[in-house]
Amino acid sequence: MGEGVDRDRADNVMSPITILGLAGSARRGGNTETLLDWCLAAAADGGARVTKLSLCDLDLRGCRACDACLKDGHCIQQDDMQRLYPLLRSVDSIVLAAPVYAMGMPGVPKIMIDRCQPFWGLKYVLRQPLLEPGRRPRRGAFLSCAGTDLPQVFEGSRRTVRYLWHVLEVSPVGEALYPLTDRKGDILKYPEARDLALEIGRRLAEPR
């Protein structure tokens, strides 16, 4: 094993876990964001360095399907995805919190996921690594609330998130999905929700 790889792994042990929390709801302080706040608080208490962003506060434009990113792995659109790209690529853990709208992912977080096409192109068209060798394994979690309890209400969003984790080379370590949480504060009807969100945050902050 090369000395450089050994040094990288030693640095990983020494450096704090970095976690990116993405709030995907237009309603600030709602049920899904509450889950996210609980999760990130536990991760911070566990020693992680946490960054939280509200996607709806960013300038995010839809993918143009222009395929320009397949040439060099970079998106030509100059919006706030240029701020997100390095974070999505560099952090150790990602938490995506997005409610269910019309049986699927809301528009803004889905735009963010669609705009990860440069990462797909980098890996599968340009055959270049997304992550540097020797870095610590990456983890992810998905948090969501829905107003209904219809069967499969979370399945559309879960499939989309599984795709995102695959592209970003993230291993999921947990999810918290709660139906019948239409009104702000309804998540408090589930006493176990906070405990689950805290547990997920602790898992994300664990050394690896």
Domain that holds residue 189: 48-205
What span, in angstroms and rounded, lies between the C-alpha atoms of 97 and 93?
13
Structural domain includes residue 159: yes
Q: What is the CATH number of the domain that holds 132?
A: 3.40.50.360
Q: Is residue 5 part of a domain?
A: no
Q: Is residue 116 included in any domain, yes or no? A: yes
- Assign residue 61 a region (left: φ > 0; alpha: ψ between -120 and 50; beta: otherwise): beta
| 152 found inside a domain | yes
Number of domains comprising the chain = 1
Question: Does 27 fall in a domain?
Answer: no
Q: Model confidence over 106-121: pLDDT tens digits?
A: 999 999 999 999 999 9
The answer to whether residue 179 scores a pLDDT higher than 50 is yes
Dump pLDDT digits (tens) for 70-105. Answer: 999 999 999 999 999 999 999 999 999 999 999 999
Question: Does any domain span residue 10?
Answer: no
C-alpha neighbours within 13 Å on the C-beta side of residue 79? 15
